[in-house]
Amino acid sequence: MKIATCCLGKKTKKVFFCILILITTAFGFLVFNAARLRSRQLDVQAIEQSDIDQTVALSHLSNAVQIPTVSYTNRAKNEEQAFQDFQELLEASYPAVTAHLKRYTGEDFDDAQNPSLLYQWSADKREETPAILLMAHYDVVAIEQTSLEEWQHPPFSGVIENGYLWGRGTLDDKGAVIALMEACERLIKSGFQPQRDIYLSFGHDEEVGGKYGNQQIATWMRSKGIRLEMALDEGGGIYQGVPGLEQPAALIGIAEKGYVNVAMRVQLNQTEAGHASMPHGETAIGILSSALTTLQQTPFPARLDGGVSRMLDYLGPEMSFLNRIAIGNKHLFGSI
């Protein structure tokens, strides 16, 4: 018995030692991959502060916010005068853009009811250089009347108070419209001339899908054979409190989550359906309910790729060491 116990003890120690080596090796592998992460932040020299008059720019945005350009899926509900007022505001606020850039409206897109706008800033030289498209939208989501009491200032007040501008559309997305117009106005007055065509597209129904706005503009541009080098649309902002990150992060949107609409229909003939007083074993409602339950229980598998994966590649090196272990070994921890 003593000999057997001795042998068992040696085997136990050997197994434990092997397990310890495996754990140490695995941990070392994780740490090695985490240590390999290097910052990918670009070392860019800060540009000089713009000489745009911020007081005037804020005033323009405040005026824009005060116009209730609410878009509805049923465009017959849109207040046409509000969209007309917004267009007139842009013309009055940006005379250089109005005079220098060619403006296309709904009539050019074969739909006089389309209040979206497209500006073209033509290049100085006609070269085979694809254009760029800068996009924004000036419609906003309807205000729920029951939520008005929750607003610190009325949703279309455009109040400027303590360094903040209040109102629906300040961020989504009239701020971008005004920013683009301010930049173009300043550049035109400074004598700047682009080396390629620049288009500014301001949609009026983005919040409800863009069917009558930018979709028509896209169709029109395609019909004219206009080629684009790039398109820049609204995106995120500078975010504080990204999990695992102490610094603020400016997120650049290079991908968008898609969606799919599924129409499901069950149709039974009279023999299959039976009578309401004596229905057969399966009814149309039961079959459809079963299909919906199956669909809900079978979601698309989660995956970590594309834009999200690349985002982590750039944010990971700036995070704590524990987070770097996870991100540096995405092939192992991707499922969580």
Q: How far is CA 58 from CA 143, 187, 196, 236, 336, in A?
A: 23, 18, 29, 20, 44
- The residue among 303, 285, 281, 282 whose CA lies nearest residue 293 is 285
257-277 burial: b if 16+ Cβ within 10 Å, else e: eeeeeeeeeeeeeeeeeeeee
Is 173 known to be catalytic? no
30 φ/ψ angles, rounded to the nearest 5 degrees: -65, -45
DSSP string, 198-256: EEEEEES-GGGT-TTTHHHHHHHHHHTT--EEEEE-----EES--TT--S-EE------
d(CA 57, CA 51): 11
Alpha carbon 272 to its chain centroid, in Å, reads: 48
Is 197 known to be catalytic? no
To 10 degrees, the CA torsion angle through 41, 129, 232, 89?
A: 130
- What are 191's two structure tokens? 């004598």
Is the Cβ–Cβ distance between 124 and 138 less than 8 Å? no
Give the three-class secondary structure for 102.
strand
d(CA 213, CA 115): 7
d(CA 25, CA 43): 36
Catalytic member of 139, 185, 197, 205: 139
DSSP string, 233-247: -----EES--TT--S
Catalytic member of 173, 182, 206, 318: 206
Q: How far is CA 301 from CA 76, 260, 298, 304, 330, in A?
A: 40, 15, 8, 10, 16
Which residues are 102's β-sheet partners? 120
Catalytic residues: 139, 206
